[in-house]
Homo-oligomer: A and B are copies of this chain.
Amino acid sequence: MKILLVEDHPNLASNLFEYFEPKGFRLDWARNGVHGVELAKNQSYDLIILDVMLPKLDGFGVCNKIRNELALDTPIIFLTAKSMLPDKVLGLELGGDDYLVKPFQLRELESRINSVMRRYRKIEAQSSIVVEDLIIDRNICKVFRDNIPLVLPPTAYKILCLLGINKHRVTTFQEIEDYIWGDDIPQSSSLRTHIHTLRTIIDKPFNKALIHTVSRVGLKVGYDD
């Protein structure tokens, strides 16, 4: 995690260094806006922490240059004493991802960094569920095993999704029924049939079974444990 800190107060800057470096973050420090833009241009950062009141070029100007001239979409967190509404709004509308008012606690900043980064990463690598050689891409509602695309009927697909979500544990039959049908559950033979359909498609054509029954309890995906 490489962070660019643009901040003119040496005290605050050194506090941040002391807090974040031991946690494995790597920080670069720019003490004015122009220097900040320069670094953003030449290095590549995972996140930028930006004070608003800065010598030479203020934080809004830096943000603007980064977004429009450099066309970078690196997450930006504003960090400032200005708590007035118009400033917050301006910062966020200019392309900032968060706006934290001084004084703040470092722990909160850390959480907000984590939150922003989590979001940023998730967008890069879309949310799909991976179980061994099985991939469930819930964005496009498609399933692959061994990179071979498999076609599932809707209900079988839903069951598989639920199993994937709970891949670390057994999903009970009861949970599956609730998840699929809600209040209007058909006879239990229906679920049995759907599970059979699911197995026929994702297990039969392959060597190792991925779906395992835990008698009287439910199902679990994954290779045998």
**A residues bordering B, Cβ < 8 Å?**
68-71, 73, 75, 85, 88-89, 92-93, 95-98, 105, 107-108, 111-112, 114-116, 118-120, 122-123, 126-127, 129, 138-142, 149, 153-154, 161, 165, 168-170, 214-217, 220, 225
* Closest chain B residue to A218, Cβ basis: B141
**Please, which residues of chain B bring their CB within 8 A of the CB of A95?**
118
**Please, which residues of chain B bring their CB within 8 A of the CB of A153?**
215
- Select A98's contact among B70, B85, B98, beta carbons within 8 Å: B98
Q: How many chain copies does the complex carry? A: 2
- Select A115's contact among B68, B69, B71, B97, beta carbons within 8 Å: B97
- Select A111's contact among B93, B112, B123, B127, beta carbons within 8 Å: B93
Contacts A/B (CB < 8 Å), 15 sampled:
A71-B129, A71-B161, A73-B127, A75-B119, A85-B105, A89-B107, A92-B111, A119-B119, A126-B169, A139-B169, A140-B168, A141-B170, A141-B214, A141-B217, A149-B225
The answer to whether A114 and B92 touch (CB under 8 A), given A119-B75, A142-B225, is: yes
Separation of A97 and B111 alpha carbons in the complex (Å): 10
Q: Are B169 and A73 in contact (CB under 8 A)?
A: no
Q: Are A119 and B118 in contact (CB under 8 A)?
A: no
Separation of A95 and B215 alpha carbons in the complex (Å): 34
Q: Are B93 and A114 in contact (CB under 8 A)?
A: yes
The answer to whether A111 and B139 touch (CB under 8 A), given A119-B97, A123-B120, A217-B154, is: no
A48 to chain B, nearest CB (A): 14
Separation of A220 and B141 alpha carbons in the complex (Å): 10
The answer to whether A165 and B71 touch (CB under 8 A), given A142-B225, A217-B141, is: yes
The answer to whether A92 and B115 touch (CB under 8 A), given A105-B85, A165-B69, A170-B141, is: yes
**Please, which residues of chain B bring their CB within 8 A of the CB of A214?**
140-141
The answer to whether A170 and B139 touch (CB under 8 A), given A93-B111, A119-B123, is: yes
Separation of A168 and B114 alpha carbons in the complex (Å): 25
The answer to whether A126 and B96 touch (CB under 8 A), given A119-B120, A220-B140, is: no
